[in-house]
Structure 1
């Protein structure tokens, strides 16, 4: 697993860097949506699925996911918050891949759902959900079925790693390229459930455009700095380990 952590702004920079280097937004979206569908199929059998799409690229990923599930024989319905005529760019293209007019989003559409895909906002929202969006998220939260979030559960701040308003906890979150602070910091991380990180084809040269805001600690960061054992070594040639601790009742 990659240990680089990117903030939401820099993830957008990576998307633009990909476009500048010959990888279209449609290609990134197609891979993202297909990855979500694949992760779902690996964990659940076909069931009544509702994909809630928002007006931006997160919703575009949702349309692609829905089309891939339907092609695999799943019963899928897509509902959209806002009119389809308001979709732009790659999201409008993805809606065309669905080949049907999506239903109008309303809390009642989740009544018969056995699985819900949250493609409303993802990391694209930097303020608490309001009005219709908050009602839809609350309706998902009160439905006792698995929820799959695309990128992040809608209502979670990708950079601040918290939810100030309505949020529906996911059992599975599928994100792309690199994780964001909300994927590793609480309380947001627990709202994400299982996190699957997927490569969607952003060129390796993205490191020329941005620097990670953090790296997740782990053996991959410090293992290379440990001394390598040699056949002639003995215990006094391998360094010393010092442990600082409290008393016997607080040894950590």
Structure 2
């Protein structure tokens, strides 16, 4: 786990640390450490040629000025571009700027030369709203340059808290974030802007300070979650039952994918409730499945239900959802099941809901655009309203429960294909059947689902849901890099 804090909370931690650790220097030692970290990162790139540093007038720009000073001392050719003017008098940023101007110069516009590296230290986590005027034009030009692009803390044009990015946001190859990750780096437009994401703590234990200060701390998963334990003398009867209520005429694949994923996750018994015709054709693809009629009375109360993928939105389907929500204490609600819930809202403690932004919007009475404008707030609102674990799908899926957020592997656009959500729902259900809590199952399945797809996308352009099934069965805790 690595900490994820809102931008304002990071500033609170910095100031609290300074009041205890730094004495009269305040937060200046942190700016020195951040600038040094940026310089080390540039040196690791081993690029020959000019280094452009785009420096703003706030603390992010101060980090850039410090990096410029250290790189100059190391013999690099540094060009400092300061389009936003001078720093505030008496600030750490002004101190960094004055120190740089003792050894170098600055200019307001981009040089005519071709850089080897561009460092973005313009706005950082202070970015609010769209870029405008000359700054937008500068970012447009910078993004067209063939050079290594390094963002300091947060790429310019990306909102650190919401993950909403301007059309001309800095497109980093690498982002060096300080003290804690910010939510906007991990979800929405963020994963498409940050490139490789690296955390530099500057020697501060953000989680500890957040607890001391009673901040609303969130966590991001940075290691692969474990699978449910299996004792040496275990048998299939001990690994739970998943009942798949999914897949109507013309949508049978949704149920089949969910059922196969539950099996691949390790559930001891998976029963797919569907029509006789669909069942017979499906068994040739997955003979380990059991099938039954679409009748809620045959589902035991102890079973984990995966309810909704391809189920349809008929009165009969909605009546089935109503009955199973009352009958079973735990399950996964997806797709058409979520449409039923939007029309008949009620709390579902013990359940996992897996909406995409459009479904989340219907559940909250908002537009999809409003959900995407602040995915973190939407996920938290859904969890509070429905008392369930929420997986808000999309780039950088978010898991929410009881006021806490968990950030998953960012995934890849290659997995924007049919059936991915059905597979995820079945996978979550399969882990719940084996004893994982709804939160454990949601976090684990969502991470693996995205990570395996991203790994496969290195080998092929498009990843289909069925491509992941054999990878699920083969995956082990050490089978992938840690990612973020």
TM-score by length of 2: 0.46
> CA 1:93–1:184 in 2, change beyond 3 Å: closer, same or farther?
same
Question: In 2 relative to 1, CA 212–85 (structure 1 residues): closer, same or farther, beyond 3 Å?
Answer: closer
Q: Which moved more, 1:235-244 or 1:6-15?
A: 235-244
What CA distance in whole angstroms lies between the structure 2 residues aligned with 1:38 and 1:228?
Answer: 45
Larger Rg: 2
Name the residue aligned to 2:211: 207
Taking the aligned partners of 2:13 and 2:66, their CA distance within structure 1 comes to 21
Rounded to whole Å, the distance in 1 between the matches of 2:237 and 2:17 is: 46
**Structure 2 unaligned blocks of 5 or more:** 245-253, 261-422, 424-484
Alignment of 1:128-207 (within 5 A): 128-202=130-204, 204-207=208-211
| Mapped contact 1:7–1:158 kept (Cα < 8 A) | yes
Task: Determine which structure has greater relative contact order: mean sequence separation of CA pairs < 8 Å that are 6+ residues apart, divided by chain length.
Answer: 1
Distance 1:158 1:219 in 2: 23
CA distance in 1, matches of 2:155, 2:123: 8
Q: Which residues in structure 2 correspond to 1:1-252 (within 5 Å)?
A: 2-23=1-22, 24-84=26-86, 86=88, 88-98=90-100, 99-100=102-103, 102-107=105-110, 109=111, 111-202=113-204, 204-217=208-221, 223=226, 234-236=233-235, 239-243=238-242, 247-249=255-257, 251=260, 252=423
- For residues 170 and 240 of structure 1, do their structure 2 counterparts lie closer, same or farther at Cα, with a shift above 3 Å needed? same
Q: Give me the CA root mean square deviation.
A: 2.7
CA–CA distance in 1 between the matches of 2:70 and 2:238?
55
> How far did 1:110 drift?
5.8
When residues 166 and 237 of structure 1 are mapped into structure 2, their CA distance, relative to the original with a 3 A threshold, is: closer
- 1:138 and 1:239, CA in 2 relative to 1: closer, same or farther beyond 3 A? same
Aligned residues of 1:110 and 1:143 also touching (Cα < 8 A)? no
**Contact 2:52–2:119 (Cα < 8 Å) also in 1:** yes
8 Å Cα contact 2:55-2:121 kept in structure 1: yes
The 3-state SS of whatever aligns with 1:132 is helix
CA distance in structure 2 between the aligned counterparts of 1:180 and 1:217, rounded to whole angstroms: 13
